[in-house]
Structure 1
Amino acid sequence: MSMPSWKSCLSVLAALLMLSQALVARADLPDFTELVQEASPAVVNISTRQKLPASTASAQIPDLEGLPPIFREFFERSIPQVPRNPGGRQREAQSLGSGFIISDDGYVLTNNHVVADADEIIVRLSDRSELEAKLVGADPRTDVALLKVEGKGLPTVKLGNSEALKVGEWVLAIGSPFGFDHSVTAGIVSAKGRSLPNESYVPFIQTDVAINPGNSGGPLFNLDGEVVGINSQIFTRSGGFMGLSFAIPIDVAMDVANQLKSEGKVSRGWLGVVIQEVSKDLAESFGLEKPAGALVAQVLEGGPADKGGLQVGDVILSLNGRPIVMSADLPHLVGGLKPGSKADLEVVRDGERRKLQLTIGALPEEGDEVAVGKVPGAERSSNRLGVKVAELSDEQKKALDLKGGVVISEVLESGPAALIGLRPGDVITHLNNQAIDSAKTFTKVAQDLPKNRSVSMRVLRQGRASFITFKLSE
C-alpha cells in the first residue's frame, strides 16, 4: 500500500480543522429550549372586544398615515377585525395581543394600545383556559397597561434588570403573532436608550427579534429566562417586520405598574423646559468642544427650571451625575424622578460650566400651544438677513410669555432668512447668543454678525421654541 501524499494529508487536516471550527461555533450558539419550557406558561394571549356604533364605518380600520413616520404600534392593535354588518346593527371590533403574568394572584402586564377602549378583555392561558380581565390602570405615555384576572397559584415570569442588558446580548420573544399562540423568536440587542417620535419617556431597547402583529405586549427575555422588556413597536416601510423592533425596558414598565397598582395613576418628574439636540454648528455657536447635551430652547415661567435658575441657551450636560449625551436622554432621566426631589444639573452658559440645583416638579397634563397671530402694523426694520421684523404687541408678549423679541412680518425670497426656512409670524428672541428686546436691537445685532462662522438664532413658531444655526458669507 502506498503512503498518502503530503497534499492528501493537508487536505484531511484542513477538513478536520473546518469541522472542529463548525462544532465550536455550534457549541457557542444558545439553546433556548429550557428557557421556553419554563417561561411559556406565564405568557398569555390577550383578546379584546369593543362595541362600535352601527354608523361608524370609517372607524373600523385605524388611520395608518396619521401615526409617527413608519413607527407603528404593531399595526394598530393587530388590525381590528370587524365582521360585516349589512343589517346596520351594533358591531364589535376585535383585536389580539400578548401579555405576561407577573404575580401568582393574577396581575398581567401588556401594552396600553392592546387594551385601549376595550369593553371586554379576555386572557387565554397556555392550557387554553380563558379568564376575563379587569383593567387596573393604563399609562399612554409609556404604553403600559396593568390587568387583573381572578386566580391563585398562577405561573409567573422572572423579572430581570433592563439596565444590566448589554448591546449584542441574545434575547428572545414569546407571543401570539397573527394569533399563533406561544410563537418564539430570537435575536440580539441592537441598541439601548432609543428615543422614538412622540415617545419622550421611554428609553427603548432596540432588537432584531422578529416581531409581528399579536406580539404586542409580550415579554422579551434574556438568556437567564428573565423578562427585560415589553415588545411594543416596530420600524417598517413595508408594513411587515424589517429587522427593527423596540421594547419598553422592564424597569420602566414595573415602575409604572407599581404606581398604577398603588395610586391608580403615574406621577413623573418635570422641569418645565423645551429642549433640542445640540448639532455641530450649535456646539460651535455656544462654545462647546463637541456636540453633546440638551439645549434649553424655552423655559416655562414659574416652572421648576425657571425657579431653579435655568435659562434659555443653557446646555445641560448632566443630571445627578448622569451624562446627557443626546437631548433625548434628559426626559427619560427627569421623568423617572419623583416630584419634589432635588436634582443637580451641570450646564454650560456663556461658554462656562456651572452647577445648578433645583426641585423637580410634577408633569402636568398636556395643554394647547399658544400660536402667534397676524403681525399688527408696527415700525419695521430691515437688515442683511433678508427679513422685515416688527415689535411684539403687549398681548402677544403676554400670550407667548415673553419679555421681548420681534416678529417676522416679511421674508425676502433671495435673502439668507428664506434659505434657512424662516417664515412670517416666526418670533425671534435671541440672535448670536444675545437677547432681542426690540426691532432696533435686532437690526444692530444683525449688522454685527460674523462671517463664515456658525451663528445661533432662537425662534418661536406656534409657541414652540428652537435654536437654529446659519452662516453668513457676506
Structure 2
Amino acid sequence: MVEQGIREDSHNRKGSRLVSVGLAAAIFTLIGILVAPHLPFSVEKSSPVNLPVVSQAGAYPVVERDGEYESPFVAVVETVADAVVNISAKSKTERMPWWYHGSNYQTSSGSGFFFREDGYILTNNHVVEDAVEMTVRTASGYQYDAQLVGRDPETDLAVLKVEPEDDITIIPFGHSDDIKVGDWAIAIGNPFPQQGLERTVTVGVISAVGRSNLHFGGGERPYYQSYIQTDASINPGNSGGPLLNLQGECVGINAAISSPSGGSVGIGFAIPVNLARAIVPDLIATGQASRGWLGIWYHPVTQREAKRQGLESVKGITIDSVVAQSPADDAGFKEGDVIVGFHDQPVENSGQFSVLVSTAREGLPTPVQIVRDGSHLTLETLIGDRDDARRARPVRATEEDDFVSEQWLGMELVNFTPDIARAMNLREADGVYVRRVQAGSAADYASITRGTVILSLDDVTVKSLEDVEEVLGSLERSTEHVSVIVLEPDGTMVRKVIRP
C-alpha cells in the first residue's frame, strides 16, 4: 500500500450553511456556523398556562383583556418569559499558540429554560459541551452554579440543574406533533444579559416540519434530525431557548439558523419538543439517552417503488435487508417491504423514521404498518436496545454470499480480500472494506462511503473483522466518538471521527 500523509477531514459537504447560535462571549463571535412519535409518557405533568382566548381572527390575532384588545403574544411573554435563563459555559481551549500567555479558558453563552419546578433546565448540548464550569442567570438577575445532569450529542439536547432559592416560572411541554405549517411561533432567548438583552422575543410562523440532513459547521451535526423550521428570528445566543405556541407551551428548542452571513435571514430551526419528551427522563435518570433498535437497512422510497406498491404518495422507507435475529427479523419483515407507518404515525422520510425508532422504548410492542406486494399489513415488533445491537456478533449475509460481514454504526464491513484490492489497483490487502453504508447513519454523517477501506479503529490497526470485533468489544458503552483512519476510494488517506 502506498505510504502517504494523513489529512484531517474537514467534513465539508454541500448544503445550507448552518450556524450554532451559542456565542463565545470572550471574543463576541459565533461558535462554528450559526447553531438546532408516539410517546408513551411525559416528562412531568404541568398545568396549562392560563391565557386569554383569541377572540378575533384576521391577519394578526388579537385577544380581549380588561376590555381592551391586544396581541396574544403579550400574554404569552408576560406569563412564561421569566422561565428563560442565560447560560454561561466555561471550557478549556485544547490548543493555544506557543507565544500566547493568556487564559486557556473561553466562555460561551446560550439560553435555556426551566421545565420543572425543582430547578431542571433544558438547553442545547452544543451550549454546554466540553464545559468545565456553568453559570445560570435567571430573569430576576440571580446567578447560580449549574450541574450538568445529562447531555445527548445525537439530538443536541442537554439537561442542567440549579438549586433556586425562590419559586420559579416553568414552561410546560406542548406536543410538537400537533403543530401545523402556518401556526404562530414565538421564540424567546436570553442572550448577553450583561448587554441588557435579556428575554429577547421574536415572532413568526411554523415554516415547515420534519427537516433533516442539515449540515453544521465544523463537520458536526446531530444524528437524529426532524427539525421544525420557523421564520421567527433566531439570533446568536438564542440556542436552547424555547419556541412557543399561542398557549404558552414549548413546542421546540431553538437550535440553528441557515445563513450566508452569520445573521438571521428568517430560516431558523428548532428541535421538536416531543423528541425532548422521549429522552429527558433518561438524561435525568442516567445522564444519557437510551435508543430503540429495529434491525433493518433501508432507503427512502422511490417514485418507481411507490408506483409498484400502489402507494398514493412517494413517502415511506423501503427495506434493503433485515439483520438476522433482530427485532425486525423476529417480527417477519422482509426485503422490499415499504414501511408507511410506525406506531400508527405516518412515516414521511428516513430522517423522521430514524427518530421514531430511536425514541421507542425497549421491549415496547410496536405496530408497524407496511406495504408488501401491494397489500397493506401491520406487523407487531418488540423494540430492541441499540447499544446491545452494537455489541452484536458479525452475521453472515445471504447464503449465496461468501462474505462474512460486521454491521456497525450503519456500515457493512467485510474482510479486504486480494480480489477487492486488485479492483482498487492496490497491491496489498490490509484493513476492512466498507461494502455498504446506511443513509442517515453515524457512518454516513462522518462522510464514510461505500468502497472505503478502514485501516485503524480507535488508534488500533485493523486487518480483519476479528480485529474489528476485538476493538469494538473494548469500547465503553459511553464512548462518544471513535477515531478511524481510512483509505478513501480515490486513494486519499484520511482521519475521520464517527460519533456512535
Q: Same fold (TM over 0.5)?
A: yes
Give the corresponding residue for 1:15. none
1:325-355 superposed Cα distances (whole Å, 9 cap, x missing partner): 3333322222222111122223233444443
Contact 1:200/1:328 (<8 A) preserved: no
Secondary structure in 2 aligned to 1:38? helix
* Cα separation, partners in 2 of 1:273 and 1:461, compared to 1, 3 Å: farther
Question: Is 2:265 the partner of 1:248?
Answer: no
Matched, 1:99 2:122: no
- 2:86 and 2:109 in contact (8 A); partners too: yes
Q: Is the counterpart of residue 190 in structure 1 residue 207 in structure 2?
A: yes
Residue 148 (str. 1) matches residue 166 (str. 2): no
Q: Which runs of 5+ in 2 are unaligned?
A: 1-56, 63-69, 215-220, 392-399, 425-432, 437-448, 454-500
Query: Residues 25 and 325 (structure 1 numbering): CA distance in 2 closer, same or farther, change over 3 Å?
Result: closer
Which residue in the other structure is 1:209 paired with? 232
Instruction: Select the structure that is richer in helix.
Output: 1
Q: Cα distance, 1:87 vs. partner?
A: 4.5
Are the counterparts in 1 of residues 150 and 286 from structure 2 also a CA contact under 8 Å? Answer: no
The gaps in structure 1 that reach 5 residues or longer are 1-22, 58-84, 369-390, 412-424, 429-458, 464-474
Q: Which residue of 2 aligns with 1:39?
A: 80
SS of 2:106's equivalent in the other structure is strand
Q: Which has the larger radius of gyration?
A: 1
2:4 alignment partner in structure 1: none
Q: Give the whole-Å Cα distance in 2 for the aligned partners of 1:240 and 1:279.
A: 36
Equivalence for 1:135:
148
For 1:66, the equivalent position in structure 2 comes to: none
Asked if 2 retains the 8 angstrom alpha-carbon contact of 1:200 and 1:332, the reply is no
Q: Which residue of 1 aligns with 2:65?
A: none
CA contact (8 A) 1:112 1:138 kept: yes
Q: Quote the offset at 1:301 in angstroms.
A: 2.6
2:174 counterpart residue number: 160
Shift of 1:112: 0.8
- After superposition, the Cα gap between the structure-2 partners of 1:346 and 1:462, relative to the gap in structure 1 and judged at 3 Å, is farther
Higher RCO (CA 8 Å, separation ≥ 6 residues): 2
Number of aligned residues: 348
Aligned equivalent of 1:312: 335
**What is the Cα deviation at residue 289 of structure 1?**
5.5
Counterpart AA for 1:362: D
Asked if the contact 1:337/1:360 (under 8 Å) is kept, the reply is yes
Counterpart CA distance in 2 for 1:116 and 1:176 is 19
Distance of 1:121 and 1:316 partners within structure 2: 44
State the Cα distance separating 1:426 from its structure 2 match: 9.0
Q: RMSD over aligned Cα, in angstroms?
A: 3.7
Name the % identity: 38
CA separation of 1:34 and 1:304: change in aligned 2, threshold 3 A: same
Against the structure 1 CA distance between its residues 199 and 49, is the aligned structure 2 distance closer, same or farther, given a 3 Å change threshold?
A: closer
Match of 1:173, SS? strand
Deviations 1:168-206 (A, max 9, x none): 111111113466321111101112233244545343221
Counterpart-to-counterpart distance in 1, 2:60 and 2:375: 55
Whether the 8 Å contact between 2:87 and 2:135 is mirrored in structure 1 is yes
| Alignment-mate amino acid for residue 107 of structure 1 | Y
The residue that corresponds to 2:96 in the other structure is 56
Instruction: Describe the shift of the 1:135–1:347 C-alpha distance in structure 2 as closer, same or farther (beyond 3 A).
Output: same
**After superposition, where does 1:369-388 map in structure 2 within 5 Å?**
none
Of 266, 281, 286, which residue of structure 1 is paired with 2:289? 266
Corresponding residue for 1:234?
Answer: 257
TM-score if structure 2 supplies the norm length? Answer: 0.61
SS at match of 1:331: helix
